[in-house]
A and B are shown apart, each in its own frame.
Chain A
């Protein structure tokens, strides 16, 4: 297993931007996660080698942040907010509906993935869109003012 040449080039550019090699870790991990989908032990080793920092320092950061995945996840990562505003606006019902529809359990910091590896259903804390609660995020996109019908439509329209 190897890092992609394009990724290596990007890492080089990042290294110039920061005073210390270790400081590039966050952007580098995001890049690499995009390439591999998740950060396995092997990938962590690759990153450590590329940046010339201890493997432990990479693992510490990867395990600290929930947005770095230590295992493969589905094509669509549904992050359903279950914090205060969304809960007041009925998030629990929506999450139950999602669980039922997809046949998986929602969990934090990383939920279950459907057998066809299309969806992962994770519970997350406030994503800062309380004004349009209840809401969820799918991959990079926010979906606001949700209802059961709206959710069904969104999922059906996904490519």
Chain B
């Protein structure tokens, strides 16, 4: 569908934008950033903060670029003295009653006021009257703290709770210089933490992150939330080798600019107590820690001995590359394909916004490389069980003919406790790979922190084992992906790098899902 476009000029540069685009958006696409507070691409546009004023030739007054659509031939300036003066004055007004407690404010470093003041500030305040004080440090729900004094009344939080979650917790009370943001009830909707992201200042901050790290120490990595089949696009902020917080990253096709509260805390699993950090062998009912190479060859011996008689339980928690490399290993062993994937752990139902009842990140991808038969059925004729990530064999006494159990996973569980060989594997935040979400969108995650010493992703283990059966040793996730793309239509014509920041959909899948919806 050809879209109608218009030609405009921004700061002397000619720009072509689709008809109906807002000036602020057209400017952003052309690399010109216009300061703003109330505008948000996924919320309504009340144009209340007046920070985004621009000069449109022929118009006597400055126009709010967040609510003025482009028009053919418009000549726009965002950098004229008139605009700069206006922005400076708006900021001056906004800051009249602001407490300026940056030194003790956890937003410092990523604050819209600080950032814009650098460029447009007045620096010497003209205001000498006492400031209006408002309520500070209010716990307005399990996830959020509100400091009303820092609020600049942009109303983003009000619009988010009105328009996105429709839970209506926030409101602006009083008027004039006493106008104050308030929660009229506990803010405990499942998407509450997004308020801390969209609040441009330090008024709404997230309890989980407050005062953990100053944000200028953080490094950032793009990733995918592993919390459910949605696969929200995220950024993981990390510091000194530890993940510190997760926040959503814009992907209109998947999660707009949001993520859910439960997903946001999943980084904690990386360092949780039940994490498997070292390989183990079970001897005389006891588990002994061993080196990775010892565990690796113990497992290999079992795989070689039982090859064809191995029953495998794969997992919808591992990456596409993991699932594919595992399938390749089984093929080389001449073992049956992995059993059908287990059902998702229970937790929540699909909701209207993001959350999917399927709490696994990669069912679509992993099921491409697993069979349809139940693991329990497979086990009946097997002498070796290979279990990936799932607690699928907590009671091996049901299968007396089993000579061995190998468990490869990230966290301890009854199956791991009963296994003969336990091999820890890297978690999503520790390696690079891709998940396929419920829409069939293949999305890349990147390594954020280092895996525990000697711990590697499943695809590496599988591909190393498969060498013993004459299989190919993959050197990188990209190489696995290349092989996978030639083998399975779900990944046809895709390349690892081609997935980019927003992922790709095999055309058939996205269309069919959308048609169903």
On A, residues with C-beta under 8 Å from B are 54-57, 59-60, 63-64
Q: Show 12 residue pairs from A and B whose CB-CB distance is below 8 angstroms, ordered by the A residue.
A: A54-B162, A55-B168, A55-B185, A56-B158, A59-B171, A59-B182, A59-B184, A60-B171, A60-B172, A60-B173, A64-B173, A64-B174
Complex CA distance for A103 and B155, rounded to whole angstroms: 42
Q: Are the CB atoms of A57 and B171 closer together than 8 Å? A: yes
Complex CA distance for A59 and B184, rounded to whole angstroms: 8
Complex CA distance for A64 and B179, rounded to whole angstroms: 8
Q: Interface readout for B287-328 with A: 1 if CB under 8 Å, 0 if not?
A: 000000000000000000000000000000000000000000
Complex CA distance for A63 and B175, rounded to whole angstroms: 8
Q: Of B168, B174, B182, which contacts A57 at CB under 8 A?
A: B168
Complex CA distance for A63 and B171, rounded to whole angstroms: 11
Give the tally of cross-chain contacts (CB within 8 A): 27
Q: Of B168, B169, B173, which contacts A63 at CB under 8 A?
A: B173
Q: Are the CB atoms of B168 and A56 closer together than 8 Å? A: yes
Complex CA distance for A64 and B174, rounded to whole angstroms: 4
Q: Are the CB atoms of B168 and A54 closer together than 8 Å? A: yes
Of chain A, the residue at the smallest CB distance from B168 is: A54
Q: Does B170 lie at the interface of the complex (its beta carbon under 8 Å from any beta carbon of A)?
A: yes
Complex CA distance for A102 and B184, rounded to whole angstroms: 36
- What are the nearest 5 A-B pairs in CB distance? A56-B171, A54-B168, A63-B173, A56-B184, A60-B171
Q: Name, among B162, B168, B170, the residue most crowded by chain A CB atoms within 10 Å (CB to CB).
A: B168
Q: Chain B contacts of A59 at CB under 8 A? A: 171, 173, 182, 184
Complex CA distance for A30 and B136, rounded to whole angstroms: 32
Complex CA distance for A146 and B168, rounded to whole angstroms: 47
Q: Chain A contacts of B169 at CB under 8 A? A: 56
Complex CA distance for A54 and B170, rounded to whole angstroms: 10
The smallest C-beta distance from B183 to any residue of chain A, in angstroms, reads 8
Q: Chain A contacts of B172 at CB under 8 A? A: 60
Of chain B, the residue at the smallest CB distance from A44 is: B184
Complex CA distance for A108 and B170, rounded to whole angstroms: 26
Of chain A, the residue at the smallest CB distance from B176 is: A64
Q: Name, among B158, B182, B184, the residue most crowded by chain A CB atoms within 10 Å (CB to CB).
A: B184
Q: Chain B contacts of A57 at CB under 8 A? A: 168, 171
The smallest C-beta distance from B250 to any residue of chain A, in angstroms, reads 27
The smallest C-beta distance from A3 to any residue of chain B, in angstroms, reads 19
Q: Chain A contacts of B182 at CB under 8 A? A: 59
Complex CA distance for A64 and B173, rounded to whole angstroms: 6
The smallest C-beta distance from B440 to any residue of chain A, in angstroms, reads 37
Count the B residues whose beta carbon is within 8 Å of the partner chain — how many? 13
Q: Chain B contacts of A64 at CB under 8 A? A: 173-175
The smallest C-beta distance from B166 to any residue of chain A, in angstroms, reads 9
Complex CA distance for A64 and B178, rounded to whole angstroms: 10
Q: Chain B contacts of A63 at CB under 8 A? A: 173-175
Q: Interface readout for B104-137 with A: 1 if CB under 8 Å, 0 if not?
A: 0000000000000000000000000000000000
The smallest C-beta distance from A67 to any residue of chain B, in angstroms, reads 13
Q: Chain A contacts of B168 at CB under 8 A? A: 54-57
Q: Chain A contacts of B174 at CB under 8 A? A: 63-64
Q: Are the CB atoms of B173 and A55 closer together than 8 Å? A: no
Q: Name, among A56, A57, A63, the residue most crowded by chain B CB atoms within 10 Å (CB to CB).
A: A56
Of chain B, the residue at the smallest CB distance from A41 is: B184
Q: Chain A contacts of B184 at CB under 8 A? A: 55-56, 59
**A-B contact sample (14 more), CB < 8 A, given A56-B171, A59-B171, A63-B175:** A54-B162, A54-B168, A55-B184, A55-B185, A56-B158, A56-B168, A57-B168, A57-B171, A59-B173, A59-B182, A59-B184, A60-B172, A63-B173, A64-B175
Q: Chain B contacts of A56 at CB under 8 A? A: 158, 168-171, 184
Q: Chain A contacts of B162 at CB under 8 A? A: 54
Q: Chain B contacts of A60 at CB under 8 A? A: 171-173
Of chain A, the residue at the smallest CB distance from B171 is: A56
Complex CA distance for A54 and B161, rounded to whole angstroms: 11
Complex CA distance for A57 and B168, rounded to whole angstroms: 8
Of chain A, the residue at the smallest CB distance from B167 is: A54
Complex CA distance for A57 and B159, rounded to whole angstroms: 12
Of chain A, the residue at the smallest CB distance from B173 is: A63
Residues facing A in B154-213 (CB within 8 A) are: 158, 162, 168-175, 182, 184-185
Q: Interface readout for B365-398 with A: 1 if CB under 8 Å, 0 if not?
A: 0000000000000000000000000000000000
The smallest C-beta distance from B108 to any residue of chain A, in angstroms, reads 29
Q: Chain A contacts of B185 at CB under 8 A? A: 55
The smallest C-beta distance from A66 to any residue of chain B, in angstroms, reads 9
Of chain A, the residue at the smallest CB distance from B184 is: A56
Complex CA distance for A56 and B173, rounded to whole angstroms: 9
Of chain A, the residue at the smallest CB distance from B180 is: A63
Complex CA distance for A54 and B158, rounded to whole angstroms: 11
Q: Chain A contacts of B173 at CB under 8 A? A: 59-60, 63-64
Q: Chain A contacts of B175 at CB under 8 A? A: 63-64
Complex CA distance for A158 and B450, rounded to whole angstroms: 82
Complex CA distance for A59 and B171, rounded to whole angstroms: 8
Complex CA distance for A55 and B175, rounded to whole angstroms: 17
Of chain A, the residue at the smallest CB distance from B166 is: A54
Complex CA distance for A60 and B169, rounded to whole angstroms: 12
Complex CA distance for A54 and B168, rounded to whole angstroms: 6
Complex CA distance for A63 and B169, rounded to whole angstroms: 16
Q: Chain B contacts of A55 at CB under 8 A? A: 168, 184-185
Q: Chain B contacts of A54 at CB under 8 A? A: 162, 168, 171
The smallest C-beta distance from B184 to any residue of chain A, in angstroms, reads 5
Complex CA distance for A55 and B170, rounded to whole angstroms: 10
Complex CA distance for A56 and B180, rounded to whole angstroms: 12
Of chain B, the residue at the smallest CB distance from A55 is: B184
Q: Chain A contacts of B170 at CB under 8 A? A: 56
Of chain A, the residue at the smallest CB distance from B172 is: A60
Q: Chain A contacts of B158 at CB under 8 A? A: 56
Complex CA distance for A60 and B173, rounded to whole angstroms: 5
Of chain B, the residue at the smallest CB distance from A53 is: B168
Of chain A, the residue at the smallest CB distance from B174 is: A63
Complex CA distance for A56 and B163, rounded to whole angstroms: 14
The smallest C-beta distance from B179 to any residue of chain A, in angstroms, reads 9
Q: Interface readout for B244-281 with A: 1 if CB under 8 Å, 0 if not?
A: 00000000000000000000000000000000000000
Of chain B, the residue at the smallest CB distance from A63 is: B173
Complex CA distance for A59 and B185, rounded to whole angstroms: 11
